[in-house]
Amino acid sequence: MSADRILVVEDEDTIANNLVRALAANGYSVQRVRTGQDALAAVSSSDLVLLDLGLPDADGIEVCREMRSADPLLPIVMLTARQTEIDLVIGLDAGAVDYIAKPFRLAELLARIRVQLRRLPSPVDDAATIVVGDLTIDTQAYRAHWAGTELELRTKEFELLVTLAANAGHVVTRERLMSEVWDEHWFGSTKTLDVHVAALRRKLADHAGGSEMITTIRSVGYRYERPSQAGTTI
């Protein structure tokens, strides 16, 4: 089996060299580039991208958007010194599947990479199609529609929606969502879950006439509401 190919987009030589050595030592095939332009030229041959947002020739967010447009399923992990929630939301909305703040521990970065390089297993194996009210999900095609209109979802948003909709009317705990959608051995911050749920909630509300389809159960988890329940809050 060939090694997974990781593209490191980082203009700072010290950080980039350390990353390349560490990733190569863990069995990955690594290519390093310094600029957004070079990253866009090299991305087609990559299985995963580590993308620094502070690039010399381009905004890393825009580079992320272009990569995501070219390959909707490519795992893009942001490397960033920006740690405010709005920055994380912008980055994730641009198409990143995860972020890791600088400075970071190598062990955590490697764990995040292993999670993202899994080949997108469907969270639900026993149902190819899930229908809840106006929502229809094709788990094999990785597509979701609301009243016939396709929802534009990132990979993790889609997988969250599958897990929640498959359990419509019931609470799905935070621990279960992290285990099924991210990784059973996840040890990083769960803020990424909250950011993804918030983005998914907004997209659903846009199609559902403002109705809140996902309810937060404080300190427990989230519940996808059945049509008769939509709009209730806790």
Residue 232 lies in a domain: no
Q: Return the closest-CA partner of residue 171 out of 98, 88, 234.
A: 234
Residue 171 lies in a domain: yes
Residue 71 lies in a domain: yes
What 3 state SS string does the chain have?
A: CCCCEEEEECCCHHHHHHHHHHHHHCCCEEEEECCHHHHHHHHHHCCEEEEECECCCCEHHHHHHHHHHHCCCCCEEEEECCCCHHHHHHHHHCCCCEEEECCCCHHHHHHHHHHHCCCCCCCCCCCCEEEECCEEEECCCCEEEECCEECCCCHHHHHHHHHHHHCCCCEEEHHHHHHHHHCCCCCCCCHHHHHHHHHHHHHHHHHCCCCCCEEEECCCEEEECCCCCCCCCC
Q: Same structural domain for residues 137 and 98?
A: no
pLDDT tops 80 at residue 2? no
Residue 124 lies in a domain: no
Q: Same structural domain for residues 9 and 109?
A: yes
For the segment 151-180, the average pLDDT, to the nearest whole number, is: 89
Q: Same structural domain for residues 28 and 54?
A: yes
Q: Domains in the chain: how many in total?
A: 2
pLDDT of residue 123: 45
For the segment 56-67, the average pLDDT, to the nearest whole number, is: 92
- Domain's final residue, options 82, 116, 150: 116
Residue 217 lies in a domain: yes
Residue 177 lies in a domain: yes
pTM: 0.59
How many percent of the chain have pLDDT more than 70? 86
pLDDT tops 60 at residue 110? yes
Domain coverage including residue 90? 5-116
Q: Same structural domain for residues 112 and 133?
A: no
- Poorest-confidence range of 94-103, 120-129, 207-216, 217-226? 120-129
Q: Same structural domain for residues 45 and 67?
A: yes
Q: Same structural domain for residues 73 and 174?
A: no
Q: Same structural domain for residues 75 and 167?
A: no
Q: Same structural domain for residues 95 and 133?
A: no
Residue 122 lies in a domain: no
- Domain's final residue, options 116, 147, 164: 116
- Domain's final residue, options 52, 84, 116: 116
Residue 65 lies in a domain: yes
The CATH number that applies at residue 219 is 1.10.10.10
